[in-house]
Chains A and B, each alone.
Chain A
Amino acid sequence: MVERYWEALKGVKDPEIPVLNIVEMGMVLGVEAEGEKVRVRFRPTFSGCPALRLIREEIEKALREAGAKEVEVVEAKAPWSTEDMAEEARRKLLGYGVAPPLPLPLAGKDPPCPRCGSQEVVLKNTFGATLCKMLYQCAACGEVFEAFKTV
C-alpha cells in the first residue's frame, strides 16, 4: 500500500522545475499508512519557496486519488541539501537546460555549460527567476543558462 502512495507522489512535480518530481528532489522523507490514513513527512527546498502551499495541496490530491481517505502532510525542519537529489534528477535538469547542482564540496565553484560543457562560464547574477537558481553565460558558446544553486 505504501508503495502505491510513493508512486503517487512521483506524480507531484516541483511547480518551478516541472521536469522534476518531489520524490527525486529528495523532498519526501517518509510515508506511513494506517488503514486509509496516510501521513507524509516532507521538507521544503528553500525556506521562502512560494510553491510550498501548492505542493502541499498537490500531495494531498495525489494521495487521495491513490485511495487515501485522510491525508496528513507534516513539514520537517531538517535542512534540505542538493545532495539529497537523485542522480536521475540531475540528468533531467541537464536535459532541461539547467546546470545541475555540483557536489557539496564544490559549492561556490562555477558549473560547466549545460549546452557545450565548457568550463569557461561567467556568473551574471547570483539570483534567478526562482530562489533555487543562478544566472550564467557561457563564454565559449554564448549560451545564457540557469544553474541550480548548490546548497
Chain B
Amino acid sequence: MLEAYLKDALVARLTAWADDEVVLAQRLSEWVGHAPILEEDIAIANLAQDELGHAKVWLELRQELDGSDPDRLVYFRDPLEFQNAVLVELPKGDWAFTMVRQYLFDAYENLWLKEATRSVYAPLAEAASRILKEERFHLKHSSLWVERLGQGTEESHRRAQEALETLFPYVRQLFQPLPGDEALVEAGVVPDLKALEAPYLEEVTAHMVRSGLRPPEGGYVPKSRQEHTEYLWSLLAEMQSVARWDPEAKAW
C-alpha cells in the first residue's frame, strides 16, 4: 500500500494535521455557554465537535501506520511534542478574533482537502473526501461571519480588522512543508501545500476586501511546527487534566 520510506513522513504529516484540529477544537469549545447568541453557541459547539472528529480520523490513519493510540497522543503528550501551527493555539480573543481565525483555517482546509481527495494512498483520499463534505459547511458559516463583521458596525469592523492584523501572518505557517513532505508530494500521497499558498492568499484576500477588510503585509511567520507560544501550555494543561488525573478511568 504505502512504501516503507514514506511511512515516517506520513506519520509526521498526519500528526501535524491532527494537532491543528485538536487544538482548534479546544479553543472553539471555550465558547460553549458563552457565545454571543444561542444559535452561535450551538454552531460553535458543532464546529468544535467536527474538528475533534477530524483529528480522530487523522490519528486513526496514523494508528494504521505505526500502531499508536490516538487517546494517548492527545492526552499524554507534552506541549513541545505537539505539532500544531501557532495560528490555532492563540487565545480565543473576542468573537471577531475567533471568527476571522475560523475563516482563515476553513479556507485552508477546503483548499488542501480538495487536492487530497486525489491522493494515491486510498485511506487518505477517502478520509479527505469525508472531511471535505463537513468542512464546506464550516466555510459557509465563517465566511458569512467575516462579511457580517467587516461590513457591520464601526466597532465590529474595527475588531475584525485588528484580528486580521494579528492572525494573517500566521496563516502562512500552514503552508510550510515538513521535512518529509517533499517525498510524499512526489509520490502523490499528499498535496503540495507550498503550491497552494498563492491561490489561498488570493482567495482569502479577495474575500477580506469584499468584506471591507484589509490583510496586512509582512509580519512574523513561525519557522517550524516545533515553535509554540506560552498559550499552548495552559490550553493543554486544561484539556489534558482529567485524563492525566486518572489515566486508568474507563468512563468519565
Per-residue 0/1 for B130-157: is the Cβ within 8 Å of any A Cβ (1 yes, 0 no)? 1101100100110000000000000000
A48 / chain B contacts, CB cutoff of 8 Å: 49-54, 56, 134
B43 in contact with A126 (CB, 8 Å) = yes
Question: In whole angstroms, how far apart are the Cα atoms of A81 and B137 in the complex?
Answer: 15
How near does chain B come to A151, taking the closest CB pair, in angstroms? Answer: 4
Question: Provided the pairs A46-B53, A48-B49, A126-B140 are in contact, do residues A79 and B42 lie with their beta carbons within 8 angstroms?
Answer: no
The listed residue (A78, A134, A151) touching B133 by CB distance below 8 A is A151
B134 in contact with A46 (CB, 8 Å) = yes
How near does chain A come to B174, taking the closest CB pair, in angstroms? Answer: 20
B50 / chain A contacts, CB cutoff of 8 Å: 46-48, 131
B130 in contact with A47 (CB, 8 Å) = yes
Question: In whole angstroms, how far apart are the Cα atoms of A126 and B140 in the complex?
Answer: 8
- The number of chain B residues with a CB under 8 A from chain A is 24
Question: In whole angstroms, how far apart are the Cα atoms of A83 and B51 in the complex?
Answer: 24
A119 / chain B contacts, CB cutoff of 8 Å: none
A112 / chain B contacts, CB cutoff of 8 Å: none
Question: In whole angstroms, how far apart are the Cα atoms of A134 and B136 in the complex?
Answer: 13
How near does chain A come to B175, taking the closest CB pair, in angstroms? Answer: 24
Q: Judge if A29 is at the interface, Cβ distance under 8 Å.
A: no
- The number of chain A residues with a CB under 8 A from chain B is 21
Q: Judge if A109 is at the interface, Cβ distance under 8 Å.
A: no
Main secondary structure of the interface of A (DSSP, over half): loop
Question: Provided the pairs A47-B54, A50-B49 are in contact, do residues A135 and B39 lie with their beta carbons within 8 angstroms?
Answer: yes
Per-residue 0/1 for A75-102: is the Cβ within 8 Å of any B Cβ (1 yes, 0 no)? 0011111000000000000000000000
Q: Judge if B219 is at the interface, Cβ distance under 8 Å.
A: no
Question: Provided the pairs A126-B137, A151-B133, A151-B134 are in contact, do residues A78 and B39 lie with their beta carbons within 8 angstroms?
Answer: no
Question: In whole angstroms, how far apart are the Cα atoms of A125 and B137 in the complex?
Answer: 10
Q: Which of B101-150 contact A (CB under 8 A)?
A: 123, 126-127, 129-131, 133-134, 137, 140-141
How near does chain A come to B244, taking the closest CB pair, in angstroms? Answer: 22
Question: In whole angstroms, how far apart are the Cα atoms of A125 and B46 in the complex?
Answer: 11
Ranked nearest first, the 9 interchain pairs of A and B with the lowest CB-CB distance are A48-B53, A79-B130, A47-B53, A127-B46, A127-B43, A151-B133, A48-B49, A126-B141, A125-B39
Residues of A within 8 A of B (CB): 46-50, 77-81, 124-129, 131, 134-135, 149, 151
25 A-B contact pairs sorted by A residue (CB < 8 Å): A46-B50, A47-B50, A47-B131, A48-B49, A48-B52, A48-B53, A48-B134, A49-B53, A50-B49, A77-B127, A77-B130, A79-B126, A80-B130, A81-B133, A124-B39, A125-B39, A125-B43, A126-B141, A127-B46, A127-B141, A128-B42, A131-B53, A131-B134, A134-B137, A151-B134
